[in-house]
Structure 1
């Protein structure tokens, strides 16, 4: 099935092949042979194939740098490859070279690709945020090729884009708003993000805390229709704010250690447990943090039975 990029650039048959169990090699001058780099591994390494079925070596150099030098994840490599293949299809469809950089800026290949992205936004073929990411990644692609001297000075008579300085608003740890200077480009694609509201939690999506009434309805449902195990998982989520991956990686010894080695906090009647890091309790990004768990909930988990009706009133 052709995706939107292939349908838009009809003159290109460029595509991505994935190399499974990929380990890059290096040349050992002592043995006069190529050796595998055992410490670097990618389960699905993207390889960009041009319409003539040859490898686009510029992309291969860049993707290998991301993997080897920057140790980027497989998911990130695939995402970058999807942006690079769109640019390659554009080059083939328009019959432009990556170094087509004439004196008139609007004629340069990067500016024409920028115009293509804006056109596709208007046609509803691509979102503004995706177009913004795609343009930025193509410019970083050029930055890498230039910094590594892949192109000669003769080939780079004109620059692919103009660097500019801009300012963004930031909030300090004390709540003060200040302006920070950042690097940008004249090919930046601007878009207005969706508005955020005061009752939203932005965490991989837009989440809304339960209202007291919604919480009571949910608790009644748990009491009447679910298993004891599912109840305790949900109680832990409701009363600690922990993620499912955190809750479901608690071990029995964690609960026993809390009860035998720690006294509840007198201020709020909770136990404090360290999660993430080397605790064997998973957190997002493995970040360490303290989790406060109500004493009554620890006792309920220990006992595995009982009624919580009086505990949450």
Structure 2
């Protein structure tokens, strides 16, 4: 029987696992011989990095599960190793269950409750109720197994004529909002073994904007900025960038030196920086938008780029002193966040190599999140011992609230609050205005109040370590 422990594989006695092939290449037979060892093969199709393989508890590859992964690979237009890794880990959980319970998943029964997939669903629900896995994990695993069974039926790899397949396809309707906030119903294909995930009660103290975000009051933002004064210049500028532009961590960390060269401020004192598809600066789903960077921050970034510490980091980087290099690099010269463009460069380089041992190493902001938790938050709590834990992304929500507050205070006569909301939507790159409206609703619910009378930016500037004064000149 399965042991009910919380850490992944140890919930089962089975030793089935997922291993990763660093560089996976399909071969096709080019010349047949009487002896297999003398046969000649040639590469077939593309090479795939970090391809997962499911290994049974006895150490041998699982023929049927790996055949399924290969079939999916054949049907995939754009290979994503993370997607395949997720599918493999969901299926290996089923493999462990089958081995522990000694079930034949290819045998279907007249009584549906005897089928392996039905028993697996029951086990997932038990584990969810016991708090061993989340309801979302349980839903993802049963969906992955259902898709696997669909493959078995489609490829006629299982005898389903007598009792039929062990689940039924059903269609469910979900409500979706378009970019204008209008709601419509959309049909999605599901199945009768789906595991229900209870809707999470909305938290009135957060905003649902790519996760639950908690905007900071001006007082809390001031505490963060005070604590940042003891941080390294890289982290100061990254946090300033988030708080004063609303950019996501991915966007900030994929900013290149070339993106700042030759840019002049507009009449309002902002550098207008295109980001997203075609710019080399990543955004969520590569959506094109324009960031408005305060001129003082843009000048501080340029000063930092020319600083000895930035030059030392670039010397350790594969891009060197090229303008193609990132503005922000770690002490080791690696990016804080690997851009989509560099990911493709690395993939093509490994594919072209004769070596099968090179591993694809990507960064996704781990160093920044670790710094926030391990270094910055303790420093903040020296100022305010009750300061709550927070995410880097909360700075984006704080920017949104600051901007909305400022816009509402300066609405032209005769304009409604929606004018301010639409401006904030454009600045933050929200696809749906319903997301931006949450900021207005949040303000109303919690009676958001600024205790300052001037623009939020000028009020915070006295806690910013800047080389530029408010007029935009070097001090």
- TM-score (ref. length: structure 2): 0.56
* Cα pair distance change 1:135/1:90, threshold 3 Å: same
Q: Which runs of 5+ in 2 are unaligned?
A: 34-38, 305-465
Would the alpha carbon gap of residues 52 and 168 (structure 1) be closer, same or farther in structure 2, given more than 3 Å must change? Answer: same
More strand by share: 1
CA distance in 2, matches of 1:308, 1:228: 17
User: Please, what is the CA RMSD of the aligned residues?
Assistant: 3.1
For residues 2-21 of structure 1, the aligned pairs below 5 Å read 4=7, 6-10=9-13, 12-21=14-23
Change in 2 beyond 3 A, CA 1:5/1:215: closer
Closer, same or farther: CA 295–181 of 1 in aligned 2, 3 Å:
same
Given that 2:299 and 2:468 are in contact with CA atoms closer than 8 Å, whether structure 1 keeps it comes out as no
**Residues 281/59 of structure 1: CA separation in 2 closer, same or farther (3 Å cut):** same
* Alignment match, 1:306: 467
Query: Aligned equivalents of 2:208 and 2:68: distance in 1?
Result: 36
Contact 2:108–2:165 (8 Å) recurs in 1: yes
Per-residue deviation, 1:255: 2.5
List runs of 5+ in structure 1 lacking aligned partners.
none
- Equivalent pairs, count: 300
Q: Do the aligned partners of residues 273 and 187 (structure 1) sit closer, same or farther apart at CA in structure 2, a change above 3 Å counting?
A: same
Q: 1:181 to 1:248 in 2, by over 3 A?
A: closer
CA distance in 1, matches of 2:197, 2:164: 28
* CA deviations over 1:59-110 (Å, ceiling 9, x no partner): 1111112334214422222221222112122222222212221112222222
Q: Which secondary structure state, in structure 2, belongs to the residue aligned with residue 242 of structure 1?
A: coil
Which residue does 1:107 correspond to in 2?
114
Partner of 1:120: 127
Alpha-carbon distance change, 26 to 255 in structure 1, aligned in 2, over 3 angstroms = same
Query: Taking CA–CA contacts closer than 8 Å with sequence separation of 6 or more, which of the two structures ends up with the larger relative contact order?
Result: 2
8 A Cα contact 1:27 1:34, kept in partner: yes
1:48 aligned onto 2:92 = no
Which residue number corresponds to residue 243 of structure 1?
Answer: 248
Q: Is the 8 A contact 2:23 2:47 kept in 1?
A: no
Matching residue within 147, 150, 172 for 1:143: 150
In the alignment, the residues of structure 1 paired with residue 275 and residue 155 of structure 2 have an alpha-carbon distance, to the nearest angstrom, of: 42
Alignment match, 2:223: 217
Deviation by residue 1:16-73 (Cα, 9 ceiling, x = unmatched): 3433322122345899843223523123x33223344432211111111233421442
1:146-194 Cα distance to aligned partner (Å, 9 max, x none)? 222333554x632120111221121122222222222211111012243
**SS at 1:273's partner residue?**
strand
Q: Which residue of 2 aligns with 1:22?
A: 24
